Structure 1
Amino acid sequence: MQDVPQLVAQARAGRPRAVARLISLVEGASPQLREVMAALAPLAGRAYVVGLTGSPGVGKSTATSALVTAYRKAGKRVGVLAVDPSSPFSGGALLGDRVRMSEHASDPGVYIRSMASRGHLGGLAWAAPQAIRVLDAAGCDVVLVETVGVGQSEVEIAAQADTCVVLLAPGMGDGIQAAKAGILEIGDVYVVNKADREGADATARELNHMLGLGEARAPGDWRPPIVRTVAARGEGVDEVVAALDKHRAWLEEHDELTARRTRRAAREVETIAVTALRERIGDLHGDRRLGSLAERVVAGELDVYAAADSLVAGVTGVSRRGG
């Protein structure tokens, strides 16, 4: 058993090993997880969470590394969660992202963690929200969450970030494909990376056109900017940071930052509650109640909704009508 108060104190002091142990407790769904979250609750809420998403090959890891460099020059502590594809054999994460960010490995002001998505749709590990909280409580000013490029389900990053950055690159598909992937609905800042390649201007124009077609904004609403970068050379990165700062200021001015974080917390609470209920229902598979309800459905004595209501009432002690 880990000494949670001591781990939290060490993480607050900037000790990477303590941060790693806390995130491992989160990933492993440790029996001490509730104690960890209770200890972190009053310490979190200061870090700014930036999500980076986009199709594979657009340069997310390189862009993330360039942002880390920019934020460190500004004196900010940075945490990075790189959510990788899971190995179908070991469940572990590929460490390509960490290799590309190796230049920051010796910097005590940067903490980088690869997390396995473990087949979880949306590109985010199920434990990502709580891992973000660990980095936040450990004193990170900015937490960058880079997700797996998995197409349409990638939009889950929008539920986890204060600001969502969507990366595109020339030759990675047209605007119609981008729209199909759902990314035009989630981005707060759009980055056309590898802008030194042929077709970058056309990609930016097409993106701007697609954003215009999808606009339904009132006066004063946020209009996502389009920034061009060559992240491998650090070009345009300062402009991305400026766009992120501008979006954060807009969120705070319109009270949207707290609203986003409240919605995020509500989703997390709901997910935990639903998971707990699902586990309790799963325990009923060998229970006669479930089999009896199924037999009555087959016999036409009960419809499936009435049977489900009865099952929920049996698990929670509360009927659909509140009885």
Structure 2
Amino acid sequence: MSSLTNYGQAIASTTVALQRLLTSPPIGLQVTAYALGAPRTGVTGPSINLFLYYDSLISYREETQRGPSRVIAELHYLVSAFPGDDVDTDAGSHRSFGAARAAIERHPVLNVPIGSADNLQVWLSPSPLTSEALTSLWVASAAPLRLSFGVMASFTLDAAERTAVVGTVGDVVKQAGAGAMVVFTGSDGATKARAAASVASELGKPLVTVLLDEVVGASVADTEDNLDRIFEQAEHRGAVLMIAASDPLFGVRPEVLDLDDPYAGVEIGSILDLLGQSPSVVIIALTDLAGDELADRTQVQVRFPEPEPKRDSASATGD
């Protein structure tokens, strides 16, 4: 399945596939993809124009995977019929209109190539347009109103290319470079601290451990200042950064945030962008699962087991 990073190519390929559908025999229409009101150069006789006027992206979750793993893309086209001349005495634009509409009804699914090794299944369906919406599109273009109908082309993309490896501390050392996001999960803070120290030692770098509120400020600028202060210290140059107890911001958060949440207004993506500029590995220590935005950027995740419960002396001796 193609990814969201190929969205631009997916749009262009869908438009080309629609053009090919309508131009191929036995339909054989002339098809353009001009903006509304643009000069129709090089076109003689009745023709059809495809104008992409709106798109939307809808994320959804799969039951077996965290985060918005898929995106449904919806492309809305205005399909307009143009006569061969101003009079259109033979109703050529009407024939083109009907042929285009019938072709799309008969071919509800297109197989659209994306590059040389990928394909999309694109579903076509009528997109009802009220007379007001249709008129507003043409009025906005300062062009005469044409016989038109709407069609929606929809397809599914991977929302994010998740590259996280669920691995070991050794994988962190081998795979994570400067600015790489690493997630340590588990309830045993001491074990995560020892693991972070081991990573830093293996990389030959110092370790800086901070609490979340020592890094994340009320604004992106404050956060940037905090990070600058941390790494400006001589003993911290090139350090591995570990942010402890990060669940309040980087863990799975409720859909509706409490107004008293100190991180309610924080743009997580912007904070992760800043952390990505760190001189070495960034370790985000969590008790539970990472939230969607962090999960999308995580290179290696290490899950630490729960500590063994302590046995009291009485149970240990059998008394």
TM-score w.r.t. structure 2 length?
0.26
Query: Quick check: which one's strand share is greater?
Result: 2
Indicate the structure whose relative CO is greater, using CA pairs within 8 Å and at least 6 residues apart.
Answer: 2
Question: Who wins on radius of gyration, i.e. which is larger?
Answer: 2
- Relative to its length, the structure with more helix (as a share) is 1
